[in-house]
Amino acid sequence: MDLQDEKCVMVIDAALPLGLIANTAAIMGITLGKEMPQVVGANVTDQSGHPHLGIIEFPVPVLKGSPEEIRKIREKLYEPEFQDLSAADFSDLAQGCRTYNEFIEKMSKTPENALHYFGIAICGPKKKVNKLTGSMPLLR
């Protein structure tokens, strides 16, 4: 994988409370780190000799999107053109669960169109990621 040709972005519903925005970004980031460990750099040591865990080797812009825009992106990711992208989404269903077993159970009984997405993170070839998110503004 040529990291120069890769891009990751997060699209988050800007209308969410700040804490939920932060939680959404954290959950999606951890999920992508598991899915794509090759993009996380080696651990580093500062000048004082203290270790620091490696971070992703390229920037991850956080973009602002409405729930409708996030849903449209999620739906496009099911199309053959975009199936090679890695994506992590976070929804109201996931946020409302206290355990992972509860999440598994509820998700198995919930149709995709009933989910309210708080955010989606996408990684893959720059051109494809840009095609989905290129005109979206930064979340500030």
Mean pLDDT value across the chain: 95
The percent of residues above 70 in pLDDT, for the chain, comes to: 98
- The per-residue pLDDT for range 109-123, each reduced to its tens digit, is 999 999 999 999 999
pLDDT of residue 5: 86
**Half-sphere exposure in the Cβ direction for 29 (13 Å, CA):** 14
In the chain the domains, ranked by start, together with CATH numbers, are: 3-133 (3.40.1490.10)
pLDDT of residue 4: 78
Q: In what order do the strands lie in the sheet with 86-91?
A: 62-65, 6-13, 117-125, 86-91
Q: What band does 58 get if pLDDT is binned at 50, 70 and 90?
A: confident
Total-model pTM:
0.92
The predicted model gives 20-28 an average pLDDT of 97
